[in-house]
Structure 1
Amino acid sequence: MLRLSKKADYALIALKHMALRSDGASSSARELAGLYDIPIELLAKVLQRLVRKGLLASQQGTRGGYHLARTPRQISVADVIQAIDGPVTVTACSTDEGACEQYAKCNVRDPLWRVRERILAALGECTIAE
């Protein structure tokens, strides 16, 4: 079954919150954790990773926090998932890392690759602006 990791889920929640802010103000990890009942330590790590991947920007200080580094329409669900969890995969062999004993004789690799591509395309069309 395909499903988002908790970290990716938290990342999407935080980014959507920031996308909905009409005042454009920064949001702190503590604020977001309190609003959405997310463990602060985990959320802080997720937000820092989003900064490293260029989806968020951070500002230090008493009025600091996090804000979107791009417009909400420029941040796809695929961008977020890949920033947090790495490549979207359906099977182990759908990445370079996947070593499979059946690789040479596999009759489902190509169809599953097409499934992966369709999933990735759908996630790429969905943005946090929606």
Structure 2
Amino acid sequence: MIRMTRLTDYGIVLLTYFARDPDHTMHSARDVATTARLPLPTVNKILKALTRKGLLISHRGVKGGYNLARAPEEISVADIITATEGPVALTQCTVSLPGLCVQESCCPVHGNWQKINEAIRQALDGVKLSEMARPLARQPGSPNKNIVPREARVS
């Protein structure tokens, strides 16, 4: 199963908090943790990683905090995953470092993994933080989980 880590998931959630702020004000780690309902040590760890990778800017001092380093439209999901987990790679050989896999030169599926990995990376690169910060509109014909079926209603 292909799955990103919980810290990456939380990182995306935290960055959407910043992306939704139209004034681009600074937010303390404590405020972000409270809003996201996540433990402060976890939030601190994620915010520091995102700052090291250039997605957030950290300001020290009493009025310090964090804010986005770039506009939400300029930050992709691929950028966030790379900041928290490293390069997007389905297999070890899809990382752009030749010689990581001893089978690489004779592997019959190496080229296909490269193609699949590139498609996934491009898809993740095409989704921006600004999009992640907006709730997805309900598609016509999809069930609304908040609607109780008529036959289940109590009269």
TM-score by length of 1: 0.90
CA contact (8 A) 1:92 1:98 kept: no
Question: Structure 1 or 2: larger helix share?
Answer: 1
Identity of aligned residues (%): 39
The amino acid that maps onto 2:118 is E
**Structure 1 segment 10-21 matched on structure 2, within 5 A:** 10-21=10-21
| Aligned equivalent of 1:36 | 36
CA contact (8 A) 1:26 1:65 kept: yes
* Change beyond 3 A, Cα 1:18–1:93: same
| Aligned equivalent of 2:5 | 5
Aligned length in residues: 130
| Aligned equivalent of 1:52 | 52
Is 1:115 the counterpart of 2:85? The answer is no
Is 1:129 the counterpart of 2:136? The answer is no
Tell me, what secondary structure is at the counterpart of 1:129?
helix
* Unmatched runs of 5 consecutive residues or more in structure 1: none
Shift of 1:101: 4.3
* Unmatched runs of 5 consecutive residues or more in structure 2: 132-155
* Change beyond 3 A, Cα 1:41–1:97: farther
* Change beyond 3 A, Cα 1:88–1:98: farther
Shift of 1:83: 0.9
Shift of 1:104: 3.4
Tell me, what secondary structure is at the counterpart of 2:51?
helix
* Change beyond 3 A, Cα 1:62–1:87: same
- Runs of 4+ aligned structure 1 residues displaced above 6 Å come to none
Shift of 1:102: 3.1
CA RMSD across the alignment = 1.6
The amino acid that maps onto 1:60 is R
* Change beyond 3 A, Cα 1:97–1:14: farther
TM-score by length of 2: 0.77
